[in-house]
Amino acid sequence: MNREDLRHKFEGLFGAGGDIREYFSPGRVNLIGEHTDYNGGHVFPCALTIGTYGLARKREDTKIHFFSVNIQGGQPVEIDLSDISYKEAYGWANYPLGVIWALDKVKGLTLNAGFDMAIYGDIPNGSGLSSSASLEVLTGVIVRDLYGFDSLSNIDLALVGQYSENHFNGCNCGIMDQFAVAMGRKDAAIFLDCAALSYDYAPILLPDAKILITNSKVKHSLVDSAYNDRRNECARALEELQTELDIESLGELSEEEFASNADLIQDPVCRRRAKHAVYENQRTIRAVEALKAGRIEEFGQLMNASHVSLRDDYEVSCSEVDILVEEAWQVPGVIGSRITGGGFGGCTVSLVKNDAIDTFIEQVGAAYREKTGINAEFYVVEIGDGARRVALPN
């Protein structure tokens, strides 16, 4: 499948002619700062050049059609503007539908007609590279463009996407994924304060290394439920800390302040969750400082420490991902490696020196296959721009 094939599929389903427009919304990888976004901390993601392509054209009636070429044998999902509600039968289409719902709830923007939309994504399924956020922001860009909602900024679209996932699809995610997808910039990562939504771009200048993503090909059935559990555990820890501390989020605490007050958290599980949130936030701040100063090895060490914390304190890793990370650590030329994304499977992200990439793929792949029977997938990725309208192929 390519972009031209997508257009042929769109025209076969919905007819040729009219004002067909094309859009692209990237996936994202987070270099460090995991499960800190909803705890008022910092994250450091970047948009990728893989993502979700969409074609769309406004209709004259009140019907919306969603179609994904990634679903073999799938049929367009038809929804009327008079009945924008979550339905299990809609499946994946609940993600774009939720954005339309959230635009009304959050911004008071309603559609005066329906539209046809077909998508194709090259983000691997279950990889933890934010295919859902990519689709949400893609929908926001499409609707803004088709209906002239020009007052909506890309940050607005990120917030609408998060609101839709929280309140329409039921996953209590933070803002990081949608923000990175909407606000990505080529060859830079975003240092985002998730409490204030203040951010800056840090160039990723790695002349002697590349970002390598390894897909475990495993996704344990968590995902939304355990994610929500972690968020609730952090909320309980915060409430107990607030009995003595004047804070609004765990991200406000230094490591020393947390250590001095950790005994206020009665449940040891909640205490470990909060410890990760606080220490990971501080790791992220130090990591960005190290990167800006050219201390790449220090950045890698902080990535490694992040994985240990996610494995032991936040408990969102799994045996398969731990194998990938531990094998990566054994390869000379690996600067750092950690789990990325929500967890319980998905991908690792590694910084690997150029002359070690082939060895990394061969050695880590062989060890992982021997220990799990699974063939991992490897992607040397490039950092790209955020969601946008693009030119149709000739």
Helix (H, G, I), strand (E, B) or coil at 260: helix
Residue pointed to by tokens 């993503």 = 213
**CA terminus-to-terminus distance, the chain:** 16
Q: What is the residue-wise DSSP string for 150-166?
A: TT--HHHHHHHHHHHHH
Strands (E) located in the chain: 21-30, 42-43, 45-58, 63-68, 77-80, 115-121, 188-193, 198-203, 209-219, 334-340, 345-353, 377-381, 388-390
161-178 residues labelled b (16+ CB within 10 A) or e (exposed): bbbbbbbbbebbbbbbbb
The amino acid that residue 185 corresponds to is R
Pull the structure tokens for residue 71.
């679903």
Residue 385 designated active-site: no
Judge contact between 277 and 251, C-beta under 8 A.
yes
Residue among 19, 177, 229, 246 flagged as catalytic: 177
Q: Which residues are designated catalytic? A: 177
